[in-house]
Every structure is written in C-alpha cells, then in structure tokens.
C-alpha cells in the first residue's frame, strides 16, 4: 500500500505527464530518429546517425521545447479544459499554476541551452519556435484559420529543423511534409469540433464557432480528399519502396473516415475519429522503416 505522501507524489507525476503530453513527446522522438535515419541521411551508417551527438541534442531540445509548449497551452486553456475535459482537467490541476510557469521557463531555458551546443543558428531556431508556441497559446489559437494553420506548422517544426540541419531539402521531402500537414490540419478541425462548447463559452473564433458544424465537416472532408494528391505522388516514386503500402492503406481508410465525420453527431464521435487519425499518424511514423527495412540490420555495419 502507498502512503498518503506517495499517492500525492504519484498523482502529481501523472499530472505532469498529462500536462506535457508524454506520449506525444515519445512519438516525436521516434519520428525524428526515423526521419533522420531513413529519409534525410539514408546513405550514412545507421550507427553513425543514431549515435550522433548533435542529433540527440536536437531531439533533447525539441522534447524540452514541446513539453514547455504543452505546459503554457495548458496554462492558458485551464478554464476551457474544465468545460471540455473535466476529468483530465482535475488531474492537470494537481500541479499549481505557479509550478507550471516555473517549469515552463526552466524547460525553455534548457532547450535553448542544449540547442546552442549544436550551433548559434539552431539556438535561434528554437528561440523562435518557443516564442511562436507561446504566441499561439496566448493569441493565435483564438484567430479564425490562423490558429489551425499555426498549430499544424508547429507540429512539424521539430522535423523541419532536422531537414535544415542535414541540408536535405528536396521535392520528395516537401511532398512528405504536405501529406503530414494535411493530416494535422484535419486533426485540428476535429479538435475544434470536440472543443466547440468550451470555445463558445470562452469566445474563441474557431471554424465551427464561426461557420457552423456542417461547413466545418465539409472543409474536413475536402482536406481528406487533398491528401490523395501527395499520396499518389509518393506511391509513384520508386524511393518510397515498401512504405507505399501505408499510403495505399491510407487511401482506402480515409474515405471511411470522411463518411464517419459526416455522420458524427456528438463529442464522443469526434473523439473516436481523433483517436483513429492519431493512430494513423503513429503507424505512419513506424512505417518509415519500410523505406529500407534491411537498413535496420545492415546499417549497423
């Protein structure tokens, strides 16, 4: 049996994991590792890439900055979350607001410090990333369309810094990025539909609040349809190798998602769709290894 102090400590630890979205940070770490190893520098030994000190400094900086971003977002959204997510909100409130703010500043400081060990330019990038996350939470997320666009861009910025660091910008990587951005934009619309009640009460000018549920669904279905463009381009690119099966599966499943979105009636339906989309993104990250499965073994030698 746990003592009362131990129970309080465990609850606060769970609260911290909830606030910083620990699962999202773990997924980003995996995405950065696989993106670097299989997309950005596929010709280097896997061992050289994975054990690169600079790569891990970039991953460490990203993780700290993302955690800080979730903290400040939680700080500003406390009242809205009480309406939309009362159970999770109660868990998040195990941490005092002052504790959250202190953690926010400490994590950001460590993120920039870690990034500066790579280069001054990388430190500037993360300083801008941190500022943009704060400004999004403070102001941009309440602005029609701009909030959705900014959130999707912020979600891929930790991957973009790797593209710049490895100087691996190419048309095919841009197509990958457009596919991911379309999925993330669809996710943002689902989140807006989930949070409609809280957004209305708090005066957020989101797409469902301004244009209504039906038009938001139509926009979501249009975004789903647009994912076919990068999917077809990627499928027909020989460098995609086995990952093309992920895009084939995506093209088969997304119409079902569009139908479910159109038929969705309440918050529970949107939560289920959000979970399905999140699972699709997670599977997509793991499927990066299908670009060259043999590299998992041969790349170490």
If asked whether residues 144 and 255 sit together in one domain, one would say no
Give tens-digit pLDDT for 142-187.
888 898 999 999 999 999 999 989 888 888 888 999 999 999 999 9
Q: Rounded to an integer, what distance in angstroms lies between the CA atom of residue 235 and that of residue 55? A: 29
Domain count, the chain: 2
Nearest to 128 by CA among 96, 97, 150, 106: 150
If asked whether residues 23 and 156 sit together in one domain, one would say yes
Residue 269 within any structural domain of the chain: yes
If asked whether residues 145 and 243 sit together in one domain, one would say no
Give tens-digit pLDDT for 248-279.
999 999 999 999 999 998 888 998 999 999 99
Q: Is 276 helix (H, G, I), strand (E, B) or coil?
A: helix
If asked whether residues 108 and 160 sit together in one domain, one would say yes
Give tens-digit pLDDT for 66-92.
999 999 998 888 877 777 777 777 766
If asked whether residues 151 and 202 sit together in one domain, one would say no
Nearest to 62 by CA among 175, 154, 174: 154
| 299 — pLDDT class (breaks 50, 70, 90) | low
Which structural domain, as residue segments, surrounds residue 242?
A: 170-294
Residue 6 within any structural domain of the chain: no
- Domain holding 189: CATH number? 1.20.120
Measured between alpha carbons, how far apart are the two ends of the chain, in Å?
49
CA–CA distances in Å: residue 91 to residues 15, 28, 122, 131, 194: 5, 24, 35, 27, 19
pLDDT at res. 258? 92
Residue 222 within any structural domain of the chain: yes
Residue 168 has phi, psi (to 5 degrees) of: -120, 30
What pTM was estimated for this model as a whole? 0.91
C-alpha 170 chain-centroid distance: 22
Q: Is 21 helix (H, G, I), strand (E, B) or coil?
A: coil
pLDDT at res. 28? 94
- Domain holding 18: CATH number? 1.10.357.140
Q: Is 300 helix (H, G, I), strand (E, B) or coil?
A: coil
Return left, alpha or beta for 169; rule: phi > 0 is left, psi -120 to 50 is alpha, else beta.
Answer: beta
If asked whether residues 161 and 224 sit together in one domain, one would say no
Q: Which residue has the tokens 């900086």?
A: 61
Nearest to 64 by CA among 14, 105, 121: 105
If asked whether residues 200 and 149 sit together in one domain, one would say no
If asked whether residues 121 and 187 sit together in one domain, one would say no
If asked whether residues 159 and 19 sit together in one domain, one would say yes
If asked whether residues 65 and 123 sit together in one domain, one would say yes
């Amino acid at each position: 049996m746990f003592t009362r102090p131990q129970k309080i400590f465990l609850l606060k630890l769970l609260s911290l994991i909830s606030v910083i979205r620990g699962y999202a940070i773990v997924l980003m770490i995996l995405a950065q590792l696989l993106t670097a190893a299989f997309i950005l520098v596929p010709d280097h030994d896997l061992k050289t890439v994975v054990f690169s000190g600079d790569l891990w400094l970039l991953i460490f900086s990203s993780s700290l900055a993302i955690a800080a971003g979730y903290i400040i977002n939680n700080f500003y959204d406390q009242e809205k979350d009480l309406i939309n997510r009362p159970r999770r909100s109660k868990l998040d409130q195990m941490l005092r607001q002052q504790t959250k703010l202190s953690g926010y500043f400490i994590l950001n400081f460590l993120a920039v410090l870690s990034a500066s060990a790579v280069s001054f330019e990388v430190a500037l990038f993360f300083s801008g990333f941190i500022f943009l996350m704060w400004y999004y939470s403070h102001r941009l997320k309440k602005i029609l369309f701009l909030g959705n666009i900014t959130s999707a861009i912020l979600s891929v910025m930790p991957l973009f810094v790797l593209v710049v660091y490895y100087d691996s910008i190419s048309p095919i990587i841009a197509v990958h990025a457009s596919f991911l951005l379309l999925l993330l934009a669809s996710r943002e619309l689902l989140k807006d539909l989930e949070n409609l009640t809280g957004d209305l009460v708090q005066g957020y000018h989101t797409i469902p609040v301004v244009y209504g549920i039906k038009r938001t669904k139509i926009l979501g279905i249009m975004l789903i349809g647009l994912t076919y463009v990068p999917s077809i381009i990627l499928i027909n690119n020989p460098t995609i190798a086995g990952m093309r099966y992920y895009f084939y599966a995506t093209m088969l499943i997304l119409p079902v998602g569009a139908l479910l979105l159109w038929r969705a009636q309440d918050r529970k339906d949107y939560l289920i769709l959000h979970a399905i989309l999140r699972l699709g993104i997670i599977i997509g990250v793991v499927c990066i290894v299908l670009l060259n499965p043999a590299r998992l073994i041969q790349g170490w030698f």
